[in-house]
Structure 1
Amino acid sequence: MTTGSAKDAARAVDDHPALDYVARAGLVAFGIVHLVMGWLIVQLALGDRENSADSAGAVRELAQQPFGEALVWAVGVGMVLLALWQVVEAAVGHRQDDGAARVRKRLTSLGKVVLYSVIAATAFKVVTGSGSSGGNGTESLSAKLMNLPGGQVLVGLVAIGIAVVGGYLIHKGATERFLKDIEAGGASGRVGSAYVWLGKIGYIAKGAAVLAVAALFAYAAITHEPDKSGGIDEALRTVLDQPFGSVATAVVGLGFAAFGLFCFAWARHIDR
């Protein structure tokens, strides 16, 4: 198959209505993960420090519920479908944009492929019994980077990159740019207004959590201590130790839950 015909085939897939159902199934799974994360974060704020308040912890929490194995399988499959949708978007999507905007959005889709694939892999590891509750992947990453020439600079650049993502999520929520992803009718009326508020709160809360992760990486870079970095769970535990930390952490947890509910609305009113 030639490059041209391959692109034509990919565009045909992107335009096919069936891809809407793939995306919807994936968004429902993503929503479930965020709802459970929200619950775990609120529990963390209330003093439960035993569970990990991140996507891996959410998957493990799901596995412990009635019909947990089926739920985790469903989440894993849903995240694979979400990743497949973003693969198509990264390859031939965002055709309504031109130039740098299209390249930026396709690269963003590629980044989402990695994120969704990681959650899917975690789900499948948990459900097959090969998952491990230990280990800190972000700490290992920062330690490896720190051992390279110019390691502190590299970790600092990672911190800046993560901060950019966090800032973008907050901006997307505050300016309601996420409304471009749902049908106009989905944001109308009282129910639509509720969807909008769920999206605003959810994106801003996620952005705040990501900025906290960026702060940990920045601190690790400045102090040359890679063990000071970490993911969302570690960042929220650091926030928890600050004045009014339990309140701030609980608010973030409610925000993650709001984003999970928004994902359900997004799935219902998706506009690709």
Structure 2
Amino acid sequence: MTVSFPSGDSYVVAHLYLPEGHDPAKRYPAVAVGGSFTSVKEQMGGIYAGEMARRGVMAMAVDYRNYGQSGGAKRQYEDPASKAEDLSAALRYLASRSDVSGTGLLGVCTSGGTVLYTAAEDANVGAVATVAGFFSEPEMVTVIKKGPEVVERLRADGRLARQIYDETGEIKTIRAYHNTDQTAASVSPSQYYLDQTRGGGVPSWRNEFAVMAWEPWIDFDPVSRAPRVTAPTLVIHSDGSAFPDQARKVYGLLAGPKELHWAEGAHFDFYDQGDAVRDAADRVAAHFRVTLG
């Protein structure tokens, strides 16, 4: 079912997946699910939310503000702080339901980092799981972008684009993902996004990144949040997923009960490919059933 609730200066729209055989008189573990950079709820977030529901966990795949069906004037704007607020708003919605026993967060790819922002601050986060998480920190962005000069140019581009938006309302965008376009925000194989039978074919997704988001995106730093995360956390990663050393680093910094599962598979396998998703979903659902009751 589709639900909406207020967040910040606007609202969030989400798809809520009820556990199979849902009985409104019973109480279920419930989680909010977020996906990759620029993703919408019909992509990997929705896939994992459906997998959770089949395993007895209520799950809600969200469109962050400025994406998909959610509100927000700055479309395609990546802002970790705003996304963390949206996850908190999602947990407030879930916690208000009489059929919920406890609330947690599941983050795939970039949201694997975003959930650490929320978990570091919000007591409603009873448990956390990440799958193929992207655990950035500013020094790593400098390496990815091949030097501080490039990073400073991107910051300047972002400030100029924000000025244009403030003065005219125009949102300057570039491609979010591409395999050869050097002006794209992420220049990588991008198979999932360039394949119309996979994420690239989801009608509500736009392969666009708001240029004015460069500064908050460069400053995205879930690694610094990890030491403040005390909720039980499951980290699922693989050698084929993005920056495996960062996953190990985050795991080592987590302050509460924690488990690291090293899986098999390439990064995008964990978005929508059968075996990788099923194995991850089995482990994540078991984690939430134990920790959220």
Per the normalisation by structure 2, the TM-score is: 0.29
Larger Rg: 1
Return the structure number with greater helix share.
1
Task: Tell me which of the two structures has the higher relative contact order, counting C-alpha pairs closer than 8 angstroms and 6 or more residues apart.
Answer: 1
Per the normalisation by structure 1, the TM-score is: 0.31
Return the structure number with greater strand share.
2
